Amino acid sequence: MISGSAPEPAGPADGLAARLSGAGVGDAAYRTAITFFAVAVPILLLLIAWEVGLAGWPAFRAFGPGFLASSTWDPVRGVFGAAPAIYGTIVSSILALVIATPLALGVALFLSEFAPPWLRQPVAFLVDLLAAVPSVVYGLWGIFVLLPVLREHVIPFLRDTLHLGATPLFSGPAYGPSMFAAGVILAIMVLPYISSVSREVLLAVPRSQREAALALGATRWETIRGAVLPYARSGILGGVILGLGRALGETMAVTMLIGNTHQISSSLLAPSYTMASLIANEFAEATGDLHVSALMAVGFTLFCLTLVVNALARWLVWRVTRDAGATR
């Protein structure tokens, strides 16, 4: 940018020296500024973690490892254990990914490989629009539309037609608000993230890749399976991870649909709890010091869980990329 096409009024040597010394000051200032901004963000993150961890410390000290393992959450007597919320957070997010990933991948494959060009943009736009719907609207829609549909059609179908009622996963009474309902709403909410990233990645697969497979006599399906998907694997995984991050932290819609009950049940139809819902529900009215501290400790645990999951995901993406690099 500095060299540009500016006219050079003085002799070559003078001009160059002048410009270099001037640029040195500007460069240094610029470098300092961007370094400051770049460092500020991680420092802010660490500060937040530090403050939340510090505020949660009394609860960790009072209950020890039992805080993560106990199922008792009794604000009246000041006994706190977050195991059901931790369990609910992980299971509802995994459930969301199990439902959303095949759907999102299907949408992405259809749009990148099969859809006629005139259909691509509108469908992609509509799917992306799912990400723009506010969380509380999903929650309301969930209460008034999704829950009755699940209760009256989907759950009877799963239980009676598919005979899943005998398995522990779908046993017990089905009132509506449940881990299953939370998983379904989360699946709808993370679907646009996964499909959008996957679509971009699939579209970025070089044409030569497909043509090579077709030239070898592969069918369309064999081309996708053998040439396109492996190429896009790490990118798709990245999209799934993005969805997982969104699912772990989602609060409002889940709070409205999960039934908010401190219990670990093998049945997906039983109400459950998540860490984010717990904080949202109780923080405003928590007065006891230990209660506030316990909620902060839950916040810190959620923070750590998200960090661990993201680190794992990075490692997974890195490994997949490396393996793919080795085979190519």
Minimum Å distance from CB 257 to other proteins?
Answer: 10
Q: Which residue has the tokens 């259809």?
A: 110
**Nearer to other proteins (CB atom), residue 112 or residue 301:** 301
Burial class (CB in 10 A: 0-12, 13-18, 19+), 224: buried
| CA atoms of 227 and 221, how far apart (whole Å) | 10
Select from 1-9, 33-41, 197-205, 278-286 the region that touches other proteins (CB under 8 A).
Answer: 278-286
In angstroms, give the least distance from the CB of 310 to other proteins.
20
- Applying CB under 8 A, among 23, 169, 280, 305 the residue interacting with other proteins is 280
Return the residues of window 3-42 that contact other proteins according to CB under 8 A. none
Question: What are all long-range contacts of 319-324, with beta carbons under 8 Å and residues at least 24 apart?
Answer: 320/233, 320/234, 320/237, 321/234, 324/230, 324/231, 324/233, 324/234
Cα–chain-centroid distance for residue 159? 30
Determine, following the binding rule CB under 8 A, whether residue 264 of this chain makes contact with other proteins: no
DSSP secondary structure letter of residue 218: -
In 3-state terms, the chain is what percent helix, strand and coil (to 5)? 75, 0, 20
Site string for other proteins, 128-157 (x = CB under 8 A): ---------------xx--xx---------
Residue 73 binding other proteins, by CB under 8 A = yes
Binding track over 90-129 against other proteins, x by CB under 8 A: ----------------------------------------
Q: Which stretch binds other proteins (CB under 8 A): 83-91, 184-192, 216-224, 279-287?
A: 279-287
Closest by CA position to 202, among listed 110, 119, 320, 122: 110
Residue 76 in contact with other proteins, rule: CB under 8 A? yes
8 A C-beta contact, residue 49 and residue 303: yes
Least gap, CB of 79 to other proteins (angstroms): 8
Say whether residue 286 binds other proteins (CB under 8 A).
Answer: yes
Q: Residue 269 is encoded by which pair of tokens?
A: 């139809």
Question: Does 62 help bind other proteins (rule: CB under 8 A)?
Answer: no
| CB distance 300 to 53 below 8 Å | yes
Q: Which residues bind other proteins (CB under 8 A)?
A: 48, 51-52, 55, 72-77, 143-144, 147-148, 173, 175-177, 255-256, 259-262, 271, 277, 280-287, 296, 299
